[in-house]
Amino acid sequence: MRSWSGRLIEISARVEGSFAALRMTHLLSAFALAACSSPRNVAGNLSEPTAATPLKTAFADAFVIGAAVNDRQVTGKDVRGAALITAQFNTVSPENALKWEWVHPSRGTYHFGPSDAFVDFGVKHNMTIIGHTLIWHSQVPRWVFEDANGKPLGRDALLAVMRDHIMTVVGRYKGRIKGWDVVNEALNEDGTMRQTPWFKGIGDDYVVKAFEYAHEADPSAELYYNDYSLENAPKRNGAVRLIQALQRAGVKVAAIGSQSHDKMDWPTVVQYDSTFNAFAALGVRVNITELDVDVLPPAVRGQGADVATRGAVSRASNPWPAALPDSMQRALARRYADLFRVFVAHRDVIDRVTFWGVGDGDSWLNNWPVPGRTSYPLLFDRQDRPKVALDSVLATAPAVRR
Which of 96, 128, 260, 354 forms a contact with ligand XIL (CB under 6 A)? 96
Task: Say whether residue 196 binds ligand XIL (CB under 6 A).
Answer: no
Return the half-sphere exposure (C-beta side, CA atoms, 13 A cut-off) of residue 206. 30
| Residue among 306 and 384 whose Cβ is closer to ligand XIL | 306
Burial class for 219, CB neighbours closer than 10 Å (0-12, 13-18, 19+)? exposed
Please identify which of the residues 146, 185, 212, 231 carries the catalytic annotation. Answer: 185
In angstroms, what is the minimal distance from the CB of 4 to ligand XIL?
Answer: 3
Instruction: Decide: is 4 part of the binding site for ligand XIL (CB under 6 A).
Output: yes
Q: How far is the CB of 196 from ligand XIL (least distance, A)?
A: 14
Q: Is 290 in the site for ligand XIL (CB under 6 A)?
A: yes
279 is a contact residue toward ligand XIL (CB under 6 A): no
- Residue choice 343, 364, 376, 380 for contact with ligand XIL (CB under 6 A): 364
Known catalytic residue: 290?
Answer: yes
Please tell me whether the peptide bond between 267 and the residue prior to it is cis, using omega within 30 degrees of 0: yes
* Shortest distance, position 259 Cβ to ligand XIL, whole Å: 6
Helix, strand or coil for residue 343?
A: helix
Q: Measured from the CB atom, is 365 or 395 closer to ligand XIL? A: 365
Q: Does 185 participate in catalysis according to the annotation?
A: yes
| Alpha carbons 341 and 335: distance in angstroms, whole number | 10
* Residue 78 binds ligand XIL (CB under 6 A): no
Q: Contacting ligand XIL (CB under 6 A), which of 43, 202, 264, 305? A: 305
Smallest gap from Cβ 115 to ligand XIL, in A, equals 14
CA dist list (Å): 347 to 61, 125, 137, 181: 9, 24, 31, 20
Backbone angles phi, psi at 153, to 5 degrees: -70, 150
Q: Closest distance between ligand XIL and the C-beta of residue 20, in Å?
A: 27
**By CB under 6 A, what part of segment 306-335 binds ligand XIL?**
307
- Phi/psi at 169 (5° precision): -75, -50
Segment 37 to 56, residues that bind ligand XIL, using CB under 6 A: none
**259 contacts ligand XIL (rule: CB under 6 A):** yes
Secondary structure string (H, E, C) spanning 13-60: CCCCCCHHHHHHHHHHHHHHHHHHCCHHHCCCCCCCCCCCCCHHHHCC
Report the nearest approach of ligand XIL to the CB of residue 399 (Å): 32
Residue 294 or 338 with smaller CB distance to ligand XIL: 294
199 belongs to the binding site for ligand XIL (CB under 6 A): no
Q: Cis peptide before 133, with omega less than 30 degrees from 0?
A: yes
* Closest CB to ligand XIL among residues 62, 97: 97
95 binds ligand XIL (CB under 6 A): yes
Q: Is the peptide bond before 114 cis (omega within 30 degrees of 0)?
A: no
The secondary structure element, H or E, covering residue 5 is none
The Cα–Cα gap between 72 and 52 comes to 26
Rounded to a whole number of angstroms, the minimum distance from the CB of residue 133 to ligand XIL is 6
Q: What DSSP string describes 208-223?
A: HHHHHHHHHH-TTSEE
CA-angle at 357, arms to 237 and 105, nearest 5° = 80
Q: Does 184 bind ligand XIL (CB under 6 A)?
A: yes
Residue by residue, DSSP assigns 119-156 as HHHHHHTT-EEEEEEEE-SSS--GGGGB-TTSPBPPHH
Q: Does 229 bind ligand XIL (CB under 6 A)?
A: no
> In the complex, what is the shortest distance from the CB of residue 6 to ligand XIL, in angstroms, rounded to a whole number?
10
| Residue 74 is a binding residue for ligand XIL (CB under 6 A) | no
Give the binding-site size for ligand XIL (rule: CB under 6 A).
Answer: 9
Single out the catalytic residue among 212, 222, 231, 290: 290
Which residues, at least 6 apart from 34, have a Cβ–Cβ distance to it below 8 Å?
327, 330, 331, 334
Q: Which is nearer to ligand XIL, 290 or 294 (CB)?
A: 290
CA–CA separation, 168 vs 177, rounded Å?
13
Q: Which residue is nearest to ligand XIL (CB)?
A: 4
**Cα 400 to Cα 402: distance, rounded to the nearest angstrom:** 6
* Residues with catalytic function: 185, 290
Q: Which residues bind ligand XIL (CB under 6 A)?
A: 4, 95-96, 184, 259, 290, 305, 307, 364
